[in-house]
Amino acid sequence: MSETQSQLEGQPEQLVKFGSPMINLLGLDRTGLETYFESIGEKKFRASQVMKWIHQLGIVDFQMMNNLSKNLRNQLEQTSCVENIEVAEDLISKDGTRKWLLRLPDGNHIEAVFIPEKERGTLCVSSQVGCALDCSFCSTGRQGFNRNLTTAEIISQVWLASKLLEDEKKPGRKITNVVMMGMGEPLLNFDNVVSAVRIMMDDFAYGLSKRRVTVSTAGVVPAMDRLGDIIDMRLAVSLHAANDELRDALVPVNKKYPLKELMAACRRFIDKQNSRSRITFEYVLLDGVNDKPEHARELITLLKDIPTLMNLIPFNPFENSGYRTSSNNAVSRFSNILHDAGMTTVVRKTRGEDIDAACGQLAGKIEDKSRRHRRFAEPRFGME
Ligand code: SAH
């Protein structure tokens, strides 16, 4: 092991370039880069210079970084790299949504999606190859789980999307928000996700404000507490049911962290935030399963003392899902009940359906280690 590597021991695994002992600077947040530069006898401020080159200017060739000495450029070239993952497929939906299938060095594939709206452009980013949580209505979950993404692999999605959208040279195609709502459970890849979020928020990188970066969780309670302790940002919680019996069936992690604990964790998270924000709750509406008026009323009781932004998501179907999308009537009846109770409620529009880019449709191509996909054909909860 080289001296630099031993000094960086304890840093996340992404210090190592994919498949070689070189250090991939793409995956280092400011603290990581400062440690790196100090370890090679350089000043800390090199970190912000290099961050700017990589993330703001999209430059990956050290020789072009002309505010670094020639010596340093050569040294960086020998010991490190800025290496992105590869774009395997690039699809644009008729509604303007753009989806990338991205190939990882180990042959797995993940997906990232850009969703343009009137006043903002949201990039939906993956945090894991597959997902271990097995939510019954989620296509990613059906694919099984392979591994966590490194910080470099997470941030590479933002780097690539920024560059490819800029290449379009069209107005309204800029990333203003990032949501960790792609493949995977971000809070089960805690350290790498936090480093990536720090890069997204860093003024020398993507400079997104804390209100514009959202981590979405199915409810991994201890990690929600850790997140609240160290970072001020938006949290979304995938709720989908307001009683434990139903939630156990839809979101199995509920058996470990039931609703009482989850709600307490939400309250603690809000208390820790500087700006007294709200929690975004996501609720997929499944026909006949969780979309009845009594479910809405139960939800109101559950969330009565939590500042809430409710995101209702019409179920996006996929093959053999075993579920049906709620009717428009059921969706508006549900949403009206919440609205009348004073809950801020948004029905999320389905975007990018024609390119399988909608919520829960991201599947990538995963070499499943959990062998879960073999159970694909089994009847699921809610099936008739
Ligand atoms: N594991 C995290 C991040 C995934 S976010 C989480 O659960 O929050 C993806 C969001 O899309 C989650 O709210 C998820 O429940 C929702 N979703 C999954 N499958 C869906 C489907 N088929 N239709 C609509 N939304 C779905």
Query: Which of 124, 216, 279 has the most ligand 1 atoms within 8 A of CB, as the residue to mutate?
Result: 216
* Model confidence at 17: pLDDT above 90: no
The helix/strand/coil state of 383 is coil
Tell how far the Cα of 240 is from the centroid of ligand 1, in angstroms.
9
Catalytic residue from among 81, 138, 266, 359:
359
Tell how far the Cα of 313 is from the centroid of ligand 1, in angstroms.
9
Tell how far the Cα of 20 is from the centroid of ligand 1, in angstroms.
34
Query: Which of 113, 122, 137 has the most ligand 1 atoms within 8 A of CB, as the residue to mutate?
Result: 137
Catalytic residue from among 83, 111, 185, 282:
111
20-58 pLDDT, tens digit per residue, is 568 999 999 999 999 999 999 999 999 999 999 999 999
Contact present, 238 and 282 (Cβ < 8 Å):
yes
* Residue 359 is a catalytic residue: yes
Segment among 14-28, 48-62, 100-114 with least mean pLDDT: 14-28
* CATH for the 9-81 domain, from 3.20.20.100, 3.40.50.1100, 1.10.150.530, 3.40.50.150: 1.10.150.530
Classify domain 86-376 at the CATH superfamily level. Aldolase class I (3.20.20.70)
Q: Which residues pair with 280 in a beta bridge?
A: 236, 309
* Model confidence at 306: pLDDT above 90: yes
* Residue 111 is a catalytic residue: yes
Residue nearest to atom 21 of ligand 1 (CA): 360
| Environment class of 50 (CB within 10 Å of its CB; exposed 0-12, middle 13-18, buried 19+) | buried
pLDDT for the residue numbered 254: 98
pLDDT band at 380 (very low <50, low <70, confident <90, very high): very low
CA 241 to CA 219: how far, in whole Å? Answer: 12
Which of 368, 29, 85, 342 has its CA nearest to residue 197?
29
60 or 362, higher pLDDT: 60
pLDDT for the residue numbered 382: 37
CA 305 to CA 307: how far, in whole Å? Answer: 7
Share of the chain above pLDDT 90, in %: 79
Ligand 1 proximal residues by C-beta, below 6 Å = 135, 137-139, 181, 185, 216-218, 238, 282, 284, 313, 315-316, 359-360
pLDDT band at 307 (very low <50, low <70, confident <90, very high): very high
pLDDT for the residue numbered 273: 86
Residue nearest to atom 20 of ligand 1 (CA): 360
Residue nearest to atom 24 of ligand 1 (CA): 315
Atom number, ligand 1, closest to the C-alpha of residue 236 = 8
Quick check: pTM over 0.95? no
pLDDT for the residue numbered 350: 81
Mean pLDDT of 3-12: 39
Dump the DSSP string for 162-214.
Answer: HHHHHHHT-TT----EEEE-SSS-GGGSHHHHHHHHHHHH-TTTT---GGGEE
CA 84 to CA 102: how far, in whole Å? Answer: 10
169-211 pLDDT, tens digit per residue, is 898 899 999 999 999 999 999 999 999 999 999 999 999 999 9
Tell how far the Cα of 46 is from the centroid of ligand 1, in angstroms.
39
321-356 pLDDT, tens digit per residue, is 999 999 999 999 999 999 999 999 999 888 887 887
CA 126 to CA 13: how far, in whole Å? Answer: 18
Q: Is the dihedral of CA 253, 254, 257, 261 positive or negative?
A: positive
pLDDT for the residue numbered 384: 29
Segment among 158-172, 283-297, 359-373 with least mean pLDDT: 359-373
Contact present, 132 and 185 (Cβ < 8 Å):
yes
Residue 87 phi/psi, 5-degree rounding, is -85, 120
233-277 pLDDT, tens digit per residue, is 999 999 999 999 999 999 999 999 999 999 999 999 999 987 668
Which of 128, 131, 381, 340 has its CA nearest to residue 247?
381
Domain ranges of the chain: 9-81, 86-376
Mean pLDDT of 365-376: 59
Share of the chain above pLDDT 70, in %: 87
80-99 pLDDT, tens digit per residue, is 999 999 999 999 999 999 99
* Mean pLDDT computed over every residue of the chain: 89
Residue nearest to atom 12 of ligand 1 (CA): 238
141-165 pLDDT, tens digit per residue, is 888 999 999 999 999 999 999 999 9
pLDDT for the residue numbered 140: 87
Q: Are strands 145-148 and 177-180 parallel, antiparallel or unpaired?
A: unpaired
